[in-house]
Structures are given as C-alpha cells and as structure tokens.
Amino acid sequence: MFNNAGIMHPQDDNALNTEEKIWNLTMDINVKGVWFGCKHAILAMRKTGGGSIINTASFVALMGAATPQLAYTASKGAVLAMTRELAMVHARENIRFNSLCPGPIRTPLLMDFLNTEEKKQRRLVHVPQGRFGEAIEQANGALFLASDESSFVTGTDFRVDGGLSAAYVTPEVTFKSKIIPLSTEFIDYLNADGIYLPTDGQPQAAATIEELDSSDEDDATNDITQENIPHFPQVEQAIRQAIDEFGGAVFPKLNWSSPRDAAWITATQSLKCTSPFDVYLLLKSSDFINHDLNHAFDHCQQQEPTNISYNLILRKWHDLQPSLEFRCFVKNKELIGISQRDLTYYDFLLDIQQELETKIYEFFEDHIRDGFPGTEYVFDVYVQQDRQKVWLVDFNPFDTTTDGLLYSWNELLTFDVNNQEPEIRIIASTIEASEIACNAPRFATNMVPKDVIDLSDGRSIAEFAEEFQRAMALSATHLDDTDDSD
C-alpha cells in the first residue's frame, strides 16, 4: 500500500497568516487520508499474512522549512509519528510501515510553485547534489520499501533527498550569483544602435567656458541624448543591490555568454563592474552578447523556441588567476578532454599537470556528471592556487560555436569514448603560445571599427596598410574637389 496523496496549498503560510480552512484541508488530505489508507490496508493485510505500507512524508518534517508552509510541514510531521507508531504496533503481524521522505522533486506542483529561476536556485543551493530529484527516483525508493528486499526494514524515515537532510553546510561549487530577469524593453535597448549609458558612474569630461555656451544645435543634440539615456530603474536597482551584497564588484553574463570580448573598453580592462554604468557598457559593446540575443540557435537542429526568457547574471567578483582556468569537454556523460583556457605559457603548470587532471576529474565525478541533465556539454572550472578546491565557472554547448582552445572540434566530435583515453592539454613553451596567438591580442578585431575590418578583406597587414592609405588619399582628393566646386 502506497499512501502518496497530498497537497501543499498556495495559501499555506506561517502560524499568523494561515487560515483555519487551509489548515483543516491540508490535515484532512495529508494526515487523515493516510490514516484511512493505513486502516483499511491493515484489515486486508491481516487476511493475507502481512504486507508493506509506505506513507509519503517529506524532508521538511525532519528539518523544518524557512519558507513558511506550516500546515504542510505539520502534516508531514504527523505522518512520520503515525508511521513509527503503526510500525511498532503491527510488527508482530508482519505488516511493515515506513515513511518515504522525498527532497525537492521536479514535479508540476513544485515547478509551478517555483516559477522563476531565482526561486529554483534558492532551493537548489541547499541540495548537495545540486539538482531536483526525479519522480522515478522516488518510485524506485517506494519500490524497494514495498519489495521483499526490505523485509527487515520497518519504522524508518527513508530519505530520498539528494543528501539535503544530512547536510549542515551545502558545499559551494560555483561563485555566488544573482539572477535578474530582463524585460523585452531592455533587450530592445541592447539590440538598438548606439551606446547610450546611464549617467551614474560615467566619467565626466572637463568643460571649458566656451563649451558651456550652448547653441541651438547643441541643445538639440543634448535633447536627443537625454531621450536615449536608458531608464530601467528595476534593473539598475537590482544591479546596485547585487554589487553591495557581493562586496562592491560583480562580473556580468547573459543566459549563455559573458561579454569577454568587450573587456578592453573598460577602465580596468576586465569584466569587473562596480556600477550599472559598467554593466551596461560591457553588454552594449559585446558581440558575444549580440550573438546570445540574435543568433544563439542558428546552429541548432530543433526549431528556435518562441518564448525565450533572458536573464542578467551577476556573479561576485574574484581576482582569478587566468593560468588556473580550464575548459572541460563532456561526451556521452564522459569527460573526454581538458584544455588550458588562457593560451599563455605558464611553466609551473607542467609540474602540476597530473594533479590538476585528477582534481578536475574528481570534481566532475562528484558534482557535475549526475547533477547536469545533458549528455554532451562543455564546462569551465577554476582551480584554487592551493589546489584544494575546484570551482564551477560556466557551462557551454558541445558545439563548434564554443572555442575548442587546444582541441580541434574534429577531434572532439570523433572522440571514441570506449577506446580513447582523455587527456589534459597545457601549452608547453613560449613558441607554442606565440604560434597559437599569432602575436595578436585576443579579441583584437573587436577593438577596430567594422568598416576597417571589411576593408582589410583578408589581406596581410602590409597590404591592408597600403590599401588603407590609398583609400584615405582618394577620400581627401574627393573632399578637395567638392570644396573647389563650392
């Protein structure tokens, strides 16, 4: 007998706010319903020589819930107490009683209740396995308690909760983050031409007395500029709160990408943001962000979803050592390769190469393999300098749109999980690093106007310089001709 019917009413709250009718309804279904089920099952099982009765309780009956749901929590506590007593009373009749205590399970009921990404993450941060349980995992737990394999198990609180009720402190595997939902208007602002930014935090140019004498033309220009200054008070307030909470600095990303290609435009030459102005500047200047908004599904086989929700993710700023960032490639749920992310030669990495590989592989086994729902993906990690801890940085698609770094995508796509051994790849010399970089700064094309890039047309630097000088001379001649005609 599996007593698995129960409710958690949306109006269930704390002791002061929960109405009596909500309390009574919850108790009638969650407690009285289980009592009736047990009562009639006992009568039937006495005739057949015994049996197993499983009552669904919850991990909240063992721990309590910080989110007020008093009637639900009390009802599940009652189920635990009732089950224990029934187990003792009917043990000699070969009728076993056990409570199944699920953790947060990916059911329609819970997903409707946790209807935003922020609410979901608020729950998952307490689950050591870092994910919601699945219904089949609860079914397997109930199947064990119902079977003869558990014939000597009675009166227990059988926990299927991802370790939640056993955890004192949940292990942190990634950096603290805030998720800010973005409106359609904000996405339109990111897609609009021109870089108009909040005035808060913007450097102010010095002005001479002559410059302060405004003409009508200057007034018109100022009016246009004022009209285009972004005004998203909720987003800006959320950014300020995150910055305050995270010690004064954050780094931003959208659903998939961070604006790494635009770091050169900031005063710090990094993704470190201390004001909404910094965040807006990076988002508006980044081709990576533009790709997220307009081309994220270009290479997908399935049809592009029509209801994409875009979020701004702000993570606590940490001064990471680029030498200790690594990209990991997963195929068929197996780690098939690890690559150094910063393509610079660091001689000390060669001495600790084996240790790094072991640490990253253990991290994957303990936290990623069973916690991430995909079978093929790429994830980035950071290894602390003392190599005592590995941090998850981000996930990326297992696709050619993700930089393979020291791997070619042909290698990754054709990798035979059953017959090939994975390896960690680290740059072994300054010569190798120079060959990979081609002596050019990373994201160099993002620092040059698109018109100039188009004009280069794939030519060498010398050829492009000659053509550029010729184009400039031709432009100057055209201007002189225009002046003469005037």
Average pLDDT over residues 395-416: 92
Tell me if 457 is assigned to some domain.
yes
Answer whether residue 209 is part of any domain: no
Rounded to whole angstroms, how far apart are CA atoms 325 and 384? Answer: 9
Q: What is the CATH number of the domain that holds 92?
A: 3.40.50.720
What is the crossing angle of helices 184-191 and 287-294, to 10°? 130
In a domain, 386, yes or no: yes
Residues 279 and 195 both lie in one domain: yes
pLDDT: which is higher, 399 or 439:
399
Using CA atoms, how far apart are residues 154 and 158, in angstroms rounded to an integer? Answer: 10
Average pLDDT over residues 261-270: 88
Domain boundary residue among 316, 345, 378?
A: 316
Tokens 């253990």 map to which residue? Answer: 362
Give how far Cα 249 sits from Cα of 278, 314, 319, 321, Å: 10, 9, 11, 17
Q: Are residues 221 and 355 in the same domain?
A: no
The predicted model scores a pTM of 0.57
Check whether residue 54 and residue 76 sit in a common domain: yes
Angstrom CA distances, 257 to 288, 289, 295, 394, 401, stand at 6, 6, 12, 9, 11
Query: Do 119 and 21 sit in the same domain of this protein?
Result: yes
- Can you tell me the distance from the alpha carbon of 371 to that of 170, in angstroms, rounded to the nearest whole number? 14
Say how many domains are in the chain: 4
What is the spatial distance between Cα 63 and Cα 164, in angstroms, rounded to a whole number? Answer: 9
Q: What is the pLDDT of residues 174-224, one digit of tens each?
A: 788 888 999 999 999 999 887 778 776 555 444 444 444 555 555 544 554
Question: Strand, helix or coil at 162?
Answer: coil
Q: How confident is the model at residue 154 (pLDDT cuts 50, 70, 90)?
A: very high
Q: Say whether both 291 and 235 belong to one domain.
A: yes
CATH number at residue 327: 3.30.470
User: For residues 160 and 140, what is the distance between their CA atoms, to the nearest angstrom?
Assistant: 10
470 and 405 belong to one structural domain: no
User: How does the average pLDDT of the chain come out, rounded?
Assistant: 84
Q: Are residues 412 and 327 in the same domain?
A: yes
Which residue, 269, 286, 316, sits at the end of a domain?
316
List pLDDT tens digits, range 62-91: 987 767 889 999 999 999 999 999 999 999
The residue out of 316, 349, 370 marking a domain boundary is 316
Same domain, 331 and 260: no
Does the annotation mark 382 as catalytic? Answer: no
| Positions of E strands within 260-361 | 311-316, 325-331, 334-340
Residues 472, 391, single domain; the answer is no
Crossing angle between the packed helical segments 33-48 and 70-89, to the nearest 10 degrees: 20
Q: Does 207 map to a domain? A: no
Query: Is 208 within a domain?
Result: no
Alpha helices in 248-306 (DSSP H): 276-285, 287-294
Long-range contacts made by residues 263-272, C-beta under 8 angstroms, separation at least 24?
A: 263/443, 264/441, 264/443, 264/446, 264/447, 267/203, 272/317
The one-character DSSP state at 418 is T
Q: What span, in angstroms and rounded, lies between the C-alpha atoms of 441 and 454?
A: 19
Residue 16 sits in the same domain as residue 160: yes
Paired with 178 in beta bridges are 314
Q: Pick the catalytic residue: 72, 310, 382, 407?
A: 72
Sign, Cα dihedral of 378, 380, 381, 385: positive
Structural domain boundaries enclosing 134: 2-166
150 plus 34 within the same structural domain: yes
- The verdict on 431 and 331 lying in the same domain is yes
**Cα dihedral sign, 6-12-15-19:** negative
Residue 211 falls inside a structural domain: no
Asked if residue 303 is part of any domain, the answer here is no
Number of separate helices (H) and strands (E) present in the chain: 19, 12
Domain contains 119: yes
